[in-house]
Every structure is written in structure tokens, then in C-alpha cells.
Amino acid sequence: MQLEIKSKLIIALLVINGILAFSIYYFNSSSFDKEFLAYINRLQEAKLQPMTRVLASGYDKYGHWNWITRRPRVWNYLQQLYRSGALESTTLETLLSEQNFQTNNQEHPFERQSRRQSRRLQQNSDRPIPPGRKFGRPVPEASIELSNVFLRDQNQRLLIGSRKSEHKVNWLNIFLDDKLIGQVGYMPRTKLSQQVDLYFAQQQKESFATIAVYLVIIALFIAIVLSRHFLQPIRSLSKGVHQLVCGNYKQTLLISSKDELGQLAHDFNHLSKTLEQNRQDRRQWIVDISHELRTPVAILQGEIEALLDNVRPLNHDALQSLQHETKRLKRLISDLHKLSMSDLGAQSYKMENIDLLPRIKEFIDDNEAQLKAQGLDFIVTFHCQKAMVYADEGRIEQLLVNLMQNSLRYTNTPGQIKLTVSHGNQMLIINWSDSSPGVQNNDLARLFERLYRVDASRNRASGGSGLGLAICLNIAQAHNGSISASHSELGGLNIQLKLPLIRT
């Protein structure tokens, strides 16, 4: 089963959005556990921060860590306050008073022992303390509740906690008057273990999954809408192409956007107009050719029939008339052949870098006598020293010959022909002007049409085939140039030829 482009577009967008939604869900789920654990550990560290203040106050009061390492109940109670989050408002005095270590204003025995050891330490301050030696009698670990909170002194000697887990602990420094006196640490959590945390993480993952599903559903809806939006001009284009195949060249598309599809619709409309214009031109071309060929053939047929019926004697004048009509018919067929060859691009061009000025001067020398014989003065003006172009010398000469023949046929005698050669905007500009009669404004744009003559009543005795200027147009376009018609200052027609100059 072959899928339509709409289905392919929907599937493609759905697959892409599905992959994106799954990727978002996967990465969010995997990163959430890590970030959530990091968040829990940061909370644990924040809860542990007030303990550093309480421990620093105790060290400031007693001068050593035995005040806490020898008081398991104080340490255990301190951990209870840590776990309950009540350390923020706890001070050393409230901690010790709540444990009733001072009653009836009597000094605790441990405090007396600590003061004696402090005095002894001051008296023997120069004597080093043996490694591992601690004040007082060691307290068994069993008397301290197992916890994930550790304590060590400023020399990083572990005071409270398991040595097996010491390398895994995150430590917080304890300062007293900007001096490091110890560190308190905690065991960071490496996985979610509490039921509440696991439930919260599961809820978040389910939320991520729900969001991913909704994203896929929304993507499906958007894919359907977009497919309809993008396929509508494509379907219109498909219908239009089908109409062109059926021969309906008047089909046009509505341009509703300025993107690539809009440009494609614009090109389609241009193509349909071109095809319709070509069809009309072809039909008109056939009609015009038939008419042009019918006239000389009818004349020949009439003269031959007159000779056969003995209406006209068969003599030298009759044969000369037949030869004259035959030459006209041959010239018309030759012009039609040249024009068709130039239209198809089959006309050969030998392009080369040449200076046209010497060639134009040779053309003037070869044809000036003929123009004067017809009563036409030939005025030539050069406004440049060189005319380097990439052109076919023979085709440019053919173009000039056609312009000259056009002036010979239609310019009143006596008259003038003016040829001007100049430069402008990296173009070689050749202006061919003749004297009256002139051309009406509405006829100027049609002069280069095939078989078009200004005076439709003219026959071949007074005018040409109407193909000369059309051939000139094809030659100019083959040289990447242009040719146009305008009114002449001499009262007749001005033909302007522009050819691109070679940059030297």
C-alpha cells in the first residue's frame, strides 16, 4: 500500500516529536534522581551547619573536644536535634541545661577533670602529646548512637564515627575566631531510600511520562494541521499540472504565501501564461505564413492559368514576371527558415573577441554607394575608439544588412540614414536612424513581431516579408544584448542595439 504524502508527513512529524518527547522523559528521569539526591544532601548540609556553631561554642568554653566525646548523651541528643531540624535555635547553654548536667549550682565531675587537664596542659605546653593520646578515659563506641554524623579535630583525627566510612564523608569546617578547630561531617546519600523520597521521585517520573504523552498527542494534532496547510498548495499545483497536461493553459493558481510554495505557484502561473501565449503565437504564425505564402502562389497560379488559356501570350515579359514572383517566394521561404533556425537555437554562431569598429567601417564602405544610389545620405558618427565585444562578426553584419534593407524599403527619397556608435554602462550602443515616414506609438512595440508590417495593405512590391526585424531580435538576444525601436530625430525610425563590452 502506497502512502500519500500527507500520511508520510504526519508520520515523520509524529516520529520526530515522539523521539524528542522520549528523549526529554529519559534525560529528565535520569537526571532527576541525581539532582534530587544532590538537593537532599544540600539540605542535610544546611541542617548540619548550626551544629558547627554549637560545637564551636563548646570548644570555646572547655578548650578541647573531650567535652563532647566524653558525653555520649550530649552527642546523642545533639543528633536528635539535628534530625528534627531544631538546631537553629539551640545554644550550648540550653543543650547542657536540657540534659541536666548542671544541677543545684554544683560543678559536674567531668568539668572539674577538664579544668585540671587544662591547667596541666598549660603547664606542660612545650611537651608534645603522644600520637593517639586523648584527654581523659576513652569512651566505648557502643555508648554513642550510630549516626551518619562524624566529628574530627583540627588535625583530622577522627573523634566520633566509624573509620571504615571516613573516606566517604563530606566535611564542614568548624571555626573559632577564624581558626580551624575541627570538622563535622555527614554521610551523603547515594540513592533514594526513604519511602517519602521514593514516592516523590515516582510521582515526578509519572508526571514526566504524562507530559511526554501529552506532547506526542499535541504533536499529532499539529502534524495534521501542518500537513493540511502545506499540502493544500501542493494539491492545487497537482490539479493545475493535470489541467496543463489536458491542454488547459489558462489555468492559474492563487498565490497565498511568499515562501518557496508561493514562488512555485508564481512560476506555474508564468508557465501557463507562456504556454497559452505560445499556442496563440503558433496559431497566428500558421495563419500568417499561410497568408504570406498564399499571395505569391496565387499570383503564380493566376499568371500560369492566363498563359494556359492564351489570355496572356507566352513571351519574355511573361516569363520574367513568373521569375520575379518565384524569387519573392524563395526569399520568403528563406526568411522563414532563418527565423525558425534562430528560434530553435540551431543557427550557428562563431563567437570570438573582436573589435566591431573596423567591421562597421567595412560595412559602410561596402554599402554607402548603394544607399546614395537610392537617394539616401549616409551619416556615420563614432564616439569611441574601440568596440571590443564577444560576438559573431557574420551575424552582426547580417543584423546591419537587415536594418539597411528595412530603411531602403520604407524611407522616402531623398532621405537620410544616420549610424552612431558609442559606449555607455559597459555596453556598446549602436543607433540606426532614418528619416520619414515615421511609425505610430502603438506600432513601435510590435515591430519585432514576426510577419508584422506597419501598413497592412502593403504588398511585397512595396515592402518585405516582415521577418527582418524579428531575425535582428534573435541575433541580439543570442549575443546577450538587446534591441529596441523608438522615434528618430530625423523623422523616421530609430533602432538601438546594445551589446555587452569586454572588460579589459
pLDDT tens for each residue of 274-296? 888 778 777 766 766 676 677 67
| Rounded Cα–Cα distance for residues 6 and 9 (Å) | 5
Strand boundaries in 273-414, DSSP class E: 352-355, 376-382, 388-391
What are phi and psi for residue 456, nearest 5 degrees?
-65, -20
Of 348 and 319, the structure prediction assigns the larger pLDDT to 319
Of 277 and 497, the structure prediction assigns the larger pLDDT to 497
Q: 347: pLDDT confidence band, cut at 50, 70 and 90?
A: low
Give the percent of the chain with pLDDT over 90: 4
Instruction: Name every residue whose Cβ is closer than 8 Å to that of residue 398 and which is 6 or more positions away in sequence.
Output: 471, 475
| C-alpha atoms less than 13 angstroms from C-alpha of 17 in its C-beta half-sphere | 19
Are the beta carbons of 186 and 149 closer than 8 angstroms? yes
| Rounded Cα–Cα distance for residues 453 and 95 (Å) | 120
**Residue ranges of the alpha helices (H) in 179-259?**
195-245
Q: Specify the pLDDT at position 309.
A: 83
Q: Among 175-189, 306-320, 378-392, 417-431, which is the least confidently predicted range? A: 306-320
| Rounded Cα–Cα distance for residues 501 and 504 (Å) | 9
Q: Specify the pLDDT at position 104.
A: 37
Residue 196 vs residues 45, 147, 190: alpha-carbon distances, Å: 19, 20, 16
pLDDT at 113 over 50: no
β-pairing, 179-186 vs 149-153, is antiparallel
Instruction: Name every residue whose Cβ is closer than 8 Å to that of residue 16 and which is 6 or more positions away in sequence.
Output: none
Domain positions in the chain are 1-102+142-248, 257-343, 352-500
Closest among 456, 357, 447, 347 to 403, alpha carbons compared: 447
Strands of the 170-176 sheet, one edge to the other: 158-160, 149-153, 179-186, 170-176
| Rounded Cα–Cα distance for residues 215 and 213 (Å) | 5
What are phi and psi for residue 168, nearest 5 degrees?
-95, 0
Q: Fold identical between 257-343 and 352-500? A: no
| Rounded Cα–Cα distance for residues 456 and 411 (Å) | 17
Q: 209: pLDDT confidence band, cut at 50, 70 and 90?
A: confident
CB neighbour class for 252 (10 Å; exposed up to 12, middle 13-18, buried from 19): middle
pTM of the model: 0.43
* CB burial string 114-133: b at 16+ within 10 A, e below: beebeeeeeeeeeeeeeeee
Q: Specify the pLDDT at position 203.
A: 74
Instruction: Name every residue whose Cβ is closer than 8 Å to that of residue 403 and which is 6 or more positions away in sequence.
Output: 432, 468, 472, 495
Task: Give the mean pLDDT of 71-97.
Answer: 79
Give CATH superfamily name and number for 352-500: Histidine kinase-like ATPase, C-terminal domain (3.30.565.10)
Q: 133: pLDDT confidence band, cut at 50, 70 and 90?
A: very low
The C-alpha cell of 480 is what?
Answer: 546577450
| Rounded Cα–Cα distance for residues 473 and 140 (Å) | 114
Closest among 292, 345, 304 to 477, alpha carbons compared: 345
Q: 182: pLDDT confidence band, cut at 50, 70 and 90?
A: very high
- CATH number (3.30.565.10, 3.40.50.920, 2.40.30.10, 1.10.287.130) of 257-343 reads 1.10.287.130
Q: Which amino acid is at 458?
A: R
Are the beta carbons of 389 and 426 closer than 8 angstroms? no
pLDDT digits (tens, 9 = 90+) for 27-66: 777 777 677 778 878 888 888 888 888 888 889 888 889 8
Highest mean pLDDT among 14-23, 86-95, 308-317: 308-317
| Rounded Cα–Cα distance for residues 134 and 159 (Å) | 10
Highest mean pLDDT among 35-39, 234-238, 257-261, 408-412: 408-412
pLDDT at 124 over 80: no
Q: Among 33-37, 97-101, 364-368, 436-440, which is the least confidently predicted range? A: 97-101
Instruction: Name every residue whose Cβ is closer than 8 Å to that of residue 148 and which is 6 or more positions away in sequence.
Output: 186, 187
Task: Give the mean pLDDT of 471-496.
Answer: 87
